[in-house]
Structure formats: structure tokens, C-alpha cells
Amino acid sequence: MNNAQKIQAGFDIGNIHAAATPVTLDVPVIFDADGEAVAGLTIVGKNSEQYRVANNAVRAEGYKKSARRKTAIDASTDEGAELLVQAIDGNQKRLALAVVTGWYGFTSNGAPVPLDPALLEAAFEKYPTWQEKVTTALENESNFLKL
């Protein structure tokens, strides 16, 4: 039975007071010729401290920028639309970076490489689909419910 099926069967509300244990999900990003995952990113969900801190920072900065501008971005102009897209994309990237807690399958000269936030950000720049995979996985709450 997968998490979605367990959720449909019911949720023991007594677990609401239990100590939260971080739930991670491996998001594969590189596959071999047979379609097997050889490298990927380990993420935590929206209920994690990492996500909450990053989301709070993004929201607070947005409010500060809005207060300094005194007006909303005018998305009806080319300049305004571009500013809005940049803000949204930047916020999504920050949240995706914040939830990656590890990676697997990445090596240098045959040796495993520990997670490096700068390399991860560069990877998201070079391979935007990796960030999209993290964001998609993050949006599916059932990936992170431990029942």
C-alpha cells in the first residue's frame, strides 16, 4: 500500500502530537541506458524546517520590496512582466535549493562528492529540469507523509 492509499484509509490524528521525523525523498535526475537512476537529489518536504525558513525569507523579502516600490509590479508592460517572471523564478529556485539535503551518484575522479550548495545552484542553472523535478516532487505532499 502506498502513502496515497494509506491516506485514503484514514489518518491517525493521535500522530499530530508525535515528534516529527524528517521524511526525505530521492529525486532521480540522471539515468543509465536502461533507465535506472544513477544520480539524484534527496529532498525534504514543505513541512520541513528548511522549507519553512526559506519560504518565510522569500515572503518577507517580497513584502519589503513591495513596500519600497510603493506600487505593485505592472505586469502589463514588457519590463514589468520580465521583473515579475524573474521574481517568481528566483523564489522557486531558492525554495528548491533549500529543500535539497543531499545528493547521490555525483562523483569527481571516481570519488563521491559531498553536497555543495554552489555546485547545486550551478546544476540548476545548467539543467533547469532538475529544479523542475524537485519542485514537482515538493508539490506532491504524499511524498512526505510518513504513516
Measured in whole angstroms, how far is the alpha carbon of residue 85 from the centre of its chain?
18
List residues bridging with 29 in a β-sheet: none
Q: HSE on the CB side for 28, CA within 13 Å?
A: 7
CA–CA dist 101, 98 (Å, integer): 8
Q: What is the pLDDT along the chain (147 residues), one digit of tens a residue?
A: 555 555 556 667 777 777 777 899 999 999 999 999 999 999 999 999 999 999 999 998 877 877 776 667 777 787 777 777 777 788 899 999 999 999 999 999 999 999 999 999 999 999 999 999 999 999 998 888 765
Give the pLDDT confidence score for residue 7 in this predicted structure.
53
Count other Cβ atoms within 10 Å, centred on residue 41: 27
What's the pTM? 0.79
Give the pLDDT confidence score for residue 21 in this predicted structure.
76
CA–CA dist 127, 91 (Å, integer): 17
